[in-house]
Amino acid sequence: MKIIITERQLEEINRFQLKDTPQYRGCLMSDLTRMELIDNFLQKLNDNPEYNTEQPNYEMLLDDWDGYDDQVYIQNKGESIVFWEGWVRSCWDAAFQKPQYKGLKKSEVINKIIEERFPRIAEEFGMEIIDYGYIDDDGYIMYIEMKKPNNE
């Protein structure tokens, strides 16, 4: 039997559907979600180079009901992007269920995620991490600044 995939169907394939391929096998679902969010952001940026140039609203990053989708805001800083992610109770509950995060402080969990998982996310888009950290503002907000690849 021959399977024919149209160009439109090929465009609709996302990383979740490819999670068992060698390229994505080691990625957690949350990392695939982050990749999809960055991909969607970059597509919007192609249409509008001035998209999301303002700082995020911290309250919206920490509001899992009326805040940003997935508690994520991606900021366009011209030569770089900043991936902002607010951590709400459900995020902490999920993180502390994983063996690699049990017994760690919240700040240690965030640093471990950034240092061990974000290099792969940045690599997906040909970017390099140039700054990262977190803000404790009545809740934890992590940020990762990544330099966009040179398209020369």
The mean pLDDT value of the chain amounts to: 86
> Which residue range is the domain that position 108 belongs to?
28-147
Q: State yes or no: pLDDT of 128 exceeds 80.
A: yes
Task: Return the higher-pLDDT residue of 35 and 150.
Answer: 35
What is the tens place of the pLDDT at every residue in 28-76? Answer: 778 888 998 999 999 999 999 999 999 999 999 999 899 999 899 999 9
Domain membership of residue 43 (yes or no) is yes
Which among 28, 20, 16, 13 is positioned nearest to 120, based on CA atoms?
Answer: 28
Percent of the chain with pLDDT over 90: 68
Number of domains in the chain: 1
Helices H, strands E: what count in the chain? 5, 4
Domain membership of residue 49 (yes or no) is yes
Domain membership of residue 135 (yes or no) is yes
